[in-house]
Amino acid sequence: MLPAGPPPRLRVLLRALLLPLVLFAAGCSPYGLAIGAGATAAVTVLQERSVEDAAKDATIQFMLNERLFATDLDLFGDTTVIAVEGRVLITGTTRTREHIEEVSRLAWTIPEVREVFNEVKFIAHEPGLDFGRDTSILAQLRAALLRDRVINEINYSVTVNLGTVYIMGIAYQQAELDRVIAYARDIRGVRAVVSHALLKDDPRRRRAYQ
């Protein structure tokens, strides 16, 4: 069993410390400096989305994280943002119900955002929640995807929140996506699997950033 992740307050602190570094790296140009061109190319050369789209997605993530940070430190520390071709998935927890609507509102303030999946959950009390289990599930799933030669793992972004696995990305075919979902469902402790991934030839992709 993998060790539990850092305590919630420590997660907040770590993300708060990292955000200024990320924003500093982003510099003045939203796209060109959001992530280094060389690093982006290295990561996306095997991806279905283009280097330009990956840079725009990174910019969306940085900008939304900045807005979450400015809104509430705990909300920023307890949420995860994933963007793929302008489609944004936000997962995590909050102890303030109003924050759930606020997360969506903040996401839609970013011009390049085309679709928002707000999966942030309200929890009355944090003690007793097993965040270490989510860490273990995520590690097992990533390992399974990496071992499977049929799956192009780099095209998928996955996250786990309170036992629910969320999948974003671009699948070459339905059979590949089905394999990803099956791996997630087979992991002990998984309560549900939610896929927001698209197939490579999905017509909705043709409207990306247009």
Return the percentage of the chain with pLDDT > 70, whole number. Answer: 72
Non-local (6+) Cβ contacts of 7 within 8 A are none
Of the listed ranges 109-118, 122-131, 193-202, the one predicted with least confidence? 122-131
Distance, C-alpha 167 to centroid of its chain: 9
Q: Please, are residues 151 and 174 in contact by the beta-carbon 8 Å criterion?
A: no
Q: Could you give all domains of the chain from N- to C-terminal order, each with its CATH number?
A: 8-122 (no CATH), 131-207 (3.30.1340)
Residue 178 has pLDDT above 70, yes or no: yes
> According to the model, what pLDDT value does residue 39 have?
42
How large is the C-alpha radius of gyration of the chain?
17
What b/e readout covers 61-84, taking b as 16+ CB neighbours within 10 angstroms?
A: bbbbbbbbbeebebbbbbbbbbbb
| pLDDT tens-digit map of 129-167 | 666 899 999 999 999 999 999 999 999 999 999 999 999
Do residues 208 and 85 lie in contact, with contact meaning Cβ atoms separated by under 8 Å? yes
Q: Determine contact, residues 67/82, Cβ cutoff 8 Å.
A: no
